[in-house]
Amino acid sequence: MLAARGAVRRGRLPAGAGPVRPRGAPRTVDLRSDTVTRPCAGMRRAMARAAVGDDDYGEDPTVNELQRLAAGILGMEEALFVPTATMANLIAVMCHCRRRGGQLFLGRAAHLHVYEHGGAAQVAGVHSQVLPDLPDGTFDLEQLELLVREAHSSRYHPRPELICLENTHSTAGGRVLPLPYLQQVRGLADRYGLRVHMDGARLMNAAVAQGVKPAQITQFCDSVSLCFSKGLGAPAGAVLAGRRRFVAEAWRVRKLLGGGLRQAGVLAAAARVGLEQAEETLRRDHDNARRFAEGIQELNSPLCSISLAAVETNIVMMNVGGGWLSPPELCEHLRAVSEEEVAETGWAVSVLVFPWSAHTVRATWHRDISARDTELAKNKLEFVVRKWQEKLDLGLRPTPPGAGGA
């Protein structure tokens, strides 16, 4: 108790927070992804009260209203509600690339290329030409134009048809694509008769970070997907938006892929709440992520580091270096709660983060993570890093997570 009060006085713990017993359930701060959210009370009320109909017949009023609202926000003529953003991206590829063997261009680390089971190839029969991703989530447009020009002039290359962008860029750490860059992509696409699709799963994060309306971003695109179950916190659903003729064809492809829904208004109602609250929710997420990143920088430890300039939205990529600690080990130490931790801090906190790569751990903020949770996560990281450093200074390897713990 005295330890906890002392920590509060020193500003290391949120004021008003009491100690947790070592054997009690720890406070869990889940930063693995912004997909782990649960519907808020407002979403649950909206779902319970939603007017519904058969959406496959176009008769679900809540879905229809969400589609109109989303199309307006995205600056597109129409939008189509679909179960997932992965399906939205695949539908876009199938609608834009009408010939089997057509070619799309995208970054090597793009979600559409890496994390969607190669649907462009498996289902659409489309060839993906990948480009190296730059640290900010863009790719070199001179290299892109060289590849496009080469394909256009050859009888042997696949026919280039589509450029796919990702905004925000997940693997780059939630980086936002600059508007001048998007304008340049649009100009290149127009010169060669290509279309542009944006995987905008976290597009609203990009708009909030740049202080612009989403339509100012999508004006450079022929189509865009938007996910409701990531930063917006809904349990399911996405939209695919574009011109009226494009969306009409997208409806047919959605049916082909088994994405036709019936009384989908119960999902659309939650999605609408998330969409309407997006600016307030995401601004708070960005602020919390930034505070956590600043905490990493303040540690000034060789065990983990951060590039503050790369923290633009709700994702923080921690660099784990020095060869003393691997990303899975850091994740496990942050998850585990030991009696030593509780004795020193008065708190039992389990922080869940994601081992992203061989040298990187990802933490993602969302609507279920408060400023208090963020402070607890900072304190837990500080404790773990300090214990590792103390034992390394003594020439010892820290005790494996959970040993002697609660």
Q: What is the pLDDT of residues 307-322, one digit of tens each?
A: 999 999 999 999 997 6
Pair 11, 148 in one domain: no
User: How far apart, in Å, do the first and last CA atoms of the chain sit?
Assistant: 18
Q: Write down the residue that tokens 């394909």 correspond to.
A: 151
Distance CA 233, CA 258 (A): 24
Say what the pLDDT of residue 9 is: 32
**What CATH number has the domain bearing residue 314?**
3.90.1150.10
Say what the pLDDT of residue 398 is: 58
Pair 64, 196 in one domain: yes
pLDDT under 70 in the chain at which residues? Answer: 1-24, 322-323, 395-406
Q: Kind and range of the H or E element at 130?
A: strand 127-131
Query: Which domain does 234 fall in, by range?
Result: 41-276
Judge whether 151 and 158 are in contact, CB under 8 Å.
yes
In a domain, 17, yes or no: yes
Say what the pLDDT of residue 36 is: 97
Closest alpha carbon to 182 in 147, 212, 141 = 141
**What CATH number has the domain bearing residue 111?**
3.40.640.10
The model's pLDDT over 170-204, given as tens digits with 9 standing for 90+, comes to: 999 999 999 999 999 999 999 999 999 999 999 99
**Residue at which a domain ends, from 250, 276, 302:** 276
In a domain, 402, yes or no: no
In a domain, 194, yes or no: yes
In a domain, 400, yes or no: no
**Residue at which a domain ends, from 244, 276, 308:** 276
Q: What is the pTM of this model?
A: 0.90
